[in-house]
Amino acid sequence: MLRHIKETEKTMGKTFDDIFEGVKDIAEIAGQKTVEIVDVSKLKIELASINNSIKKCHEKLGVLTYNAAKKGTDSAVIDSCIEELDALYAKRDECREKINEVRPVRRCPNCGAARSASAIYCNICGEKIEK
């Protein structure tokens, strides 16, 4: 009886270790993926907000340009609006680069065209893509 329990403990112990190891591995992989997803979605939110600011700035520039042509408003306001836009464009490029760093663009080995992660054939040259 005692021997039987000891045998069971031995088996159970090993099983628990195995399960624990397995869980640890999965948790580590999941952890890495989560970090990546969080980073990308944060950056995408940032990018969306920059794009929104660019849109607003374009509208403002439109109104300013209209007023300048119609009423002869000081063009300095337009210049500052253009500066603001340029800063936003730079910020947008920076944000896009960051996204590419976290999730690099996959390219066709034959022609170098950007492709989706799930692509089997290149859209541009038709090269079969090895997984």
Minimal distance in Å, beta carbon 113 to Zn ion? 5
Residue 128: DSSP 8-state = B
Shorter beta-carbon distance to Zn ion: residue 27 or 114: 114
Does 125 sit near Zn ion (CB under 5 A)?
Answer: yes
The CA-to-CA distance between both ends of the chain, in Å, stands at 54
Nearest to 47 by CA among 94, 106, 105, 104: 94
- Residue 114 interacts with Zn ion (CB under 5 A): yes or no: no
* Count of Cβ atoms closer than 10 Å to residue 122 Cβ: 19
Query: Using the rule CB under 5 A, which residue among 23, 110, 116, 120 binds Zn ion?
Result: 110
* Minimum separation from the CB atom of position 128 to Zn ion (A): 10
Degrees, nearest 5: CA angle 22-26-32: 150
Amino acid at 7: E
Q: Which of 105, 111, 114, 120 binds Zn ion (CB under 5 A)?
A: 111
Q: Retrieve residue 119's tokens.
A: 């692509």
Query: Under the criterion CB under 5 A, does residue 108 sit at the interface with Zn ion?
Result: yes
Considering only 50, 64, 95, 122, the residue that binds Zn ion (CB under 5 A) is 122
Interaction site with Zn ion (CB under 5 A) = 108, 110-111, 113, 122, 124-125, 127
